Chain A
Amino acid sequence: MPLLNTLARLEAVRSGRARPLATVRHRHLSGRPLVLVPLTTSGEAGAPLGALVGTDRHDPCLLVIPQPRDRDLRWEFLAELARQVMPYIDAYADDVEPAERTETDPETGKRVKVETELCVDAPQLIVPSRAGVEYVRLLGRSMRFRRTAEEDPENPYPVPTQVPLLGRWFTHLAERSRVPGSALLLSATELLARHWATGQSSVEDQHLGALLAWIAPPGGENGPGTGAEAALRAELARDRDGQLLVPPAGPATDPAFDNKLLAPAMARYDAARAADDRDAADRAGRTLRELVEGQLRPTWDAVWRSLDLLRALPAGERTGERWTRDRWSYTAHRDRVRAGEPPQPRRDDAVTAAQKLATRETEQVRLDAQEALDDPLVMAGRRLAGEAFAGEVTEVVMEWSESARPRPRPLVTVVTEDRPQLADGAAAKVFRSLDGRPQAAEFVRFEGAGGIVLRLLDKMGSGREPAPGTVPEKGDRLCWTLFEHDARGGPKLPDPEQTPWTHGGPPGSATAALPLPDPVTDGDIL
């Protein structure tokens, strides 16, 4: 953990209130996000119990499965979820703008610009916590390979039309959420924890109620207690019946709720169904809906409160650029679905896995740089770590390169109190933001107390004299970074059909490692 974040946590412990970790908002927030609060059934993987979903904080759609172990009811639930979510996701598909993309021409092998289209906005799904993101992934995995009656008339258990489609989109969103800085699928706890430091551990920060209590304790500044006390209450306080006052943000439920309330209600529902007593079953079903809603509603409100807190921060300058990448991601998946491509495979092949890893590493580097450039508080952490320095220009000496056409290479002396990780005799490049674009300089030497001599290398125009405004002047205050401001993508990998022998050859070839079914377990075919 960076030293400044440790300090912020210590200050939070002392004051009982969360401390800011950022002065701007580092993730794009949609004007109309879709909030999804799912609950799952204990003891059975991938059996949803209920959900609140919707774009209107005052009018969520409540979905409840009265008996989650009944698979017919489960698929009805997922079909209803698809009816709620798919129109939202599809709503962004047709509003497009022209764009350009570089592609490798299959005939010449050259990189060429291709006219294409880009969706002007993209859907954004917000779940309460990290576990919620994993649950979206799990639901996607359980839905995307199912077949509808139209696709496979022979299938004895067809699913409603939009269910496999929702599975593919959930899978896409969950996969995209692994890309650092992406914003198609976000969790409220991670968003809050990125922007505020609390006095509790990062594991405890995954409790949305407790996290919110640290950041915005009930009653505000003049409330009855500190955030720390409120957080403890959110985590532990129970009513006379032993139920948590703040239900967990899910998808897991509280065992006391399961045992004392849910299990008896479900038993009544099962008994009514077994006795074919429709009225009793309806009554039991309504009770179950109320119970589940009671668990979901506080989390639903907490997610929207989190979004309020985050919207109060101004958006970081470069979040828009990252959102554009999300729009590309959305557009590309839209195209794959429209082209009738099969659902995402169970496992990535060697080339896809390597490509994804490369993308995520590039995006991580880009995110680290962009957050620092967008936010002086983040930059302060990098300065403290010796990865950047800020100071005043005390001297500028014009020099030129030695060549037939001399180019400006001015020497700039910056006096700083920071201690960047530069060493005399060791070549190093530093960068500053010049109208949003990075200008590079090389480190020349230390001079005097806190003086750092740099030689500017680029962005000074093409002439002998530097273009106006491109060379800093005496008295300017500048911040230089030892890291680059943008990240370069890696080399192009071979096509999957060209997977080399070291990696098992092309998928499906004799040498490729096929995941064989477990010979002992009957029916291990997934």
Chain B
Amino acid sequence: MTAFDPGAAAAQATAAILHDTLHGTDRGVVVDSPPGAGKSTLVVRAARELAAAGRRLMIVAQTNAQVDDLVLRLHEKDPGLKVGRLHSSEGDAYDPALRELPSVTLSAKPGDLTELPVTVSTAAKWAYVKDAEPWEHAIVDEAYQMRSDALLAVAGLFERALFVGDPGQLDPFSVVGAEQWAGLSYDPSASAVSTLLAHNPGLPQHRLPVSWRLPASAAPLVSRAFYPYSRFRSGTGPGERRLSYGVASDGSGPDRVLDEAAESGWGLLELPARHAPRTDPEAVAAVALVVRRALDRGAVTQDEHPGGPTPLTADRIAVGTAHRDQAAAVRTALAGLGVTGVTVDTANRLQGREYDLTVVLHPLSGRPDATAFHLETGRLCVLASRHRHACVIVARAGIAALLDDHPSTEPVQLGVTVKFPDGWEAMMSTWDFWSDHRIPWRP
């Protein structure tokens, strides 16, 4: 058996995807990408090759930030490529940095951009484009986070499309009930990919096999817990990513959990079991303290890239929560400790982002019940797969018992593909694993 060569495996997958996209006969190609597997790189590469082949291309992303990021990446790789950035008519809808790029045309009117080889916008904005000459090709980014009805609104604009996304992240949702359509192939609240594949089951499906973001300590757990049928590997081997501190531990809970995370890639800071309000003040304070200590102790990171250790700065740290009010409480707590520049957000908003160190407030911490929202597989997957070096989970004890008390009770809908693993199973397997890296809270 030959050793696994991540670079070669990824290159082979990319080549097959590009072949099907450029030379295939099917109208669509679907690419599943685990966290940090180079999805954006693939999108940029496919866009350039499609443009080079003379196919007029539209790119559909889900948020303005994603669109701006794609435009910047396209420009970085190919400053000569003419790119249109279709934006909403409200003035501040795009990154002002785009104005500086000579190859980028900004407009709120699709008519201004029709001649350009590549036009990028959000699904929401594309949906307002009417009566345009159809684009020869489209790339739909984050297709698993796009809702079926959003695809319905834009699919008439293109002949063929490459759909790229991460099936393990948060499913799209609706603020109103959509049960009446459950089981229909075109359920408007389902993901765009599930509708697409239900109607076009023969489309080629590919998978990116290597996560370049997740370290060797994280990829096996994330792969096993969230992608049991489409395993992936980390691009780096054990020991290639290292996190260390300039200042020794003071023996407190936060310091010891940071040491554990540096050592093994994961650390679980466990507070005493207790039912708490959502913005659990003790848990929030513990999260903030972990971040503060990581900065105070002069953490440095070393990775596979040449160059010496890099200091871990606040902008390379993220705190992830389930709810917005929890994020707000953590921000307040961090400000109270004099920490600025750390990203604090919910799982929904952290999707697609990458940091060196993440601190996660466990979605079930301190809860008396486990609802479908808190058990959603994608939410935990996003929170547990944002880091390049280490991840610290902060939770109250008793999650295993809580899970035992709350088996999944979602009604089974006929005709709906059952998603594996279910959230309960993913919660349990990750909790089991993290329990081996448990540090009891001690201030």
- Interface residues, chain A, CB within 8 Å of chain B? 109, 178, 180, 347-351, 353-354, 356-358, 360-361, 364-365, 385-386, 421, 423, 427, 490-494, 498-505, 511, 513
Q: Is the CB of B131 within 8 A of A504?
A: no
**A363 nearest CB neighbor, chain B only:** B176
Cα–Cα distance between A499 and B186 once the two chains are bound (Å): 11
| Chain B, range 172-192, C-beta contacts under 8 Å to A | 174-178, 180-181, 184-189, 192
Nearest 4 pairs of A and B residues by beta carbon: A500-B155, A354-B149, A350-B186, A491-B127
Cα–Cα distance between A365 and B176 once the two chains are bound (Å): 10
Cα–Cα distance between A358 and B328 once the two chains are bound (Å): 29
Find B149's partner among A180, A358, A427, A505 (CB 8 Å cutoff): A358
15 further contact pairs, Cβ within 8 A, besides A492-B130, A494-B156, A502-B196: A178-B180, A347-B184, A349-B186, A353-B184, A353-B186, A354-B152, A357-B149, A360-B176, A490-B127, A501-B27, A502-B28, A502-B200, A503-B155, A504-B199, A513-B186
Most-contacted residue by chain B among A356, A360, A500 (CB, 10 A): A500
A to B CB contacts below 8 Å, 5 in the list: A351-B152, A353-B186, A501-B155, A503-B195, A513-B185
Give every chain B residue within 8 A of A385 (Cβ-Cβ).
325
Given known contacts A357-B189, A358-B149, A491-B153, is B195 in contact with A502 (CB within 8 Å)? yes
Q: Is the CB of B152 within 8 A of A503?
A: yes
Distance (whole angstroms) from the CB of A251 to the closest CB of chain B: 19
Cα–Cα distance between A502 and B194 once the two chains are bound (Å): 10
Give every chain A residue within 8 A of B131 (Cβ-Cβ).
109
CB 8 Å contact bits of B84-116 with A (1 = contact, 0 = none): 000000001000000000000000000000000
- The tally of CB-CB contacts under 8 A between chains A and B is 99
Distance (whole angstroms) from the CB of B128 to the closest CB of chain A: 5
Given known contacts A178-B180, A513-B199, is B187 in contact with A353 (CB within 8 Å)? yes
**A180 nearest CB neighbor, chain B only:** B176
| Chain B, range 145-161, C-beta contacts under 8 Å to A | 148-149, 151-153, 155-156, 161
Q: Is the CB of A501 within 8 A of B181?
A: no
Interface size on B, residues (CB 8 A): 39
Cα–Cα distance between A513 and B186 once the two chains are bound (Å): 9
Cα–Cα distance between A493 and B151 once the two chains are bound (Å): 10
Distance (whole angstroms) from the CB of B406 to the closest CB of chain A: 16
Give every chain B residue within 8 A of A361 (Cβ-Cβ).
174-176
Q: Is the CB of B155 within 8 A of A502?
A: yes
Is B207 close to A, CB under 8 A? no
Cα–Cα distance between A498 and B192 once the two chains are bound (Å): 18
Cα–Cα distance between A364 and B178 once the two chains are bound (Å): 13
Cα–Cα distance between A361 and B149 once the two chains are bound (Å): 12
Given known contacts A427-B92, A491-B127, A493-B152, is B181 in contact with A511 (CB within 8 Å)? no
Cα–Cα distance between A499 and B156 once the two chains are bound (Å): 8
Give every chain A residue within 8 A of B248 (Cβ-Cβ).
none
Give every chain A residue within 8 A of B328 (Cβ-Cβ).
386, 421
Q: Is the CB of B152 within 8 A of A501?
A: no
Cα–Cα distance between A423 and B344 once the two chains are bound (Å): 12
Find B151's partner among A360, A503, A513 (CB 8 Å cutoff): A503
| Chain B, range 256-276, C-beta contacts under 8 Å to A | none
**B277 nearest CB neighbor, chain A only:** A3
Distance (whole angstroms) from the CB of A74 to the closest CB of chain B: 25
Is B73 close to A, CB under 8 A? no
Q: Is the CB of B153 within 8 A of A493?
A: yes
**A512 nearest CB neighbor, chain B only:** B199
Q: Is the CB of A109 within 8 A of B130?
A: yes
Is B324 close to A, CB under 8 A? yes
Given known contacts A357-B176, A498-B156, is B198 in contact with A513 (CB within 8 Å)? yes
Cα–Cα distance between A491 and B128 once the two chains are bound (Å): 6
Is B331 close to A, CB under 8 A? yes
Distance (whole angstroms) from the CB of B385 to the closest CB of chain A: 26
Distance (whole angstroms) from the CB of A327 to the closest CB of chain B: 22
Q: Is the CB of B152 within 8 A of A364?
A: no
Given known contacts A109-B131, A178-B180, is B152 in contact with A357 (CB within 8 Å)? no
Give every chain B residue within 8 A of A347 (Cβ-Cβ).
184
Q: Is the CB of A502 within 8 A of B152?
A: yes
Q: Is the CB of A500 within 8 A of B174?
A: no
Distance (whole angstroms) from the CB of A277 to the closest CB of chain B: 47
**B140 nearest CB neighbor, chain A only:** A502
Give every chain B residue within 8 A of A503 (Cβ-Cβ).
148, 151-152, 155, 186, 195, 199
Cα–Cα distance between A475 and B276 once the two chains are bound (Å): 39
Cα–Cα distance between A493 and B188 once the two chains are bound (Å): 12
Give every chain B residue within 8 A of A356 (Cβ-Cβ).
188
**B123 nearest CB neighbor, chain A only:** A491
Cα–Cα distance between A491 and B124 once the two chains are bound (Å): 8
Q: Is the CB of A502 within 8 A of B180?
A: no
Cα–Cα distance between A504 and B151 once the two chains are bound (Å): 12
Give every chain A residue within 8 A of B189 (Cβ-Cβ).
357
Q: Is the CB of A504 within 8 A of B155?
A: no
**A348 nearest CB neighbor, chain B only:** B181
